[in-house]
Structure 1
Amino acid sequence: MNPSRLRILAVGKVRRRWVQEGIDLYRKRLPGLQIQELRDGTREKEADAIRAARRPDEQLVVLTEEGDNFGSVSFAQKIEQASHERIAFVIGGADGITDALKAEARWQLSLSPMTFPHELARLLLIEQLFRAQAILQGSPYHRA
Structure 2
Amino acid sequence: MNPSRCRILAVGKVRRDWIQKGIELYLKRLPGLTVTELRDSSPEKEADSIRAALRPDETLIALMEQGECLGSIPFARRLKQFENERLVFVIGGADGLTAELKLQAQWQLSLSPLTFPHELARLMLVEQLFRAQSIVQGRPYHRA
Q: Same fold judged by TM-score > 0.5?
A: yes
What is the Cα deviation at residue 99 of structure 1? Answer: 0.5
1:105 matched to 2:105? The reply is: yes
What residue ranges of structure 2 are gaps of 5+ in the alignment? none
Amino acid at match of 1:97: L
Amino acid at match of 2:100: A
Cα distance in 2 for partners of 1:44, 1:99 equals 10
1:69 matched to 2:75? The reply is: no
Q: Deviations over 1:97-129 (max 9, x none)?
A: 000000000010001111111100000000000
Alignment length, in residue pairs?
Answer: 143
What is the Cα deviation at residue 27 of structure 1? Answer: 0.3
SS at match of 1:23: helix
TM-score by length of structure 2 reads: 0.97
What residue ranges of structure 1 are gaps of 5+ in the alignment? none
Q: Deviations over 1:28-66 (max 9, x none)?
A: 000000100000100000000000001110011000010
Does the 8 Å contact 1:135/1:142 carry over to 2?
no
Cα distance in 2 for partners of 1:141, 1:121 equals 19
Identity over aligned residues, as a percent?
Answer: 69
Cα distance in 2 for partners of 1:57, 1:118 equals 26
1:18 matched to 2:18? The reply is: yes
TM-score by length of structure 1 reads: 0.97
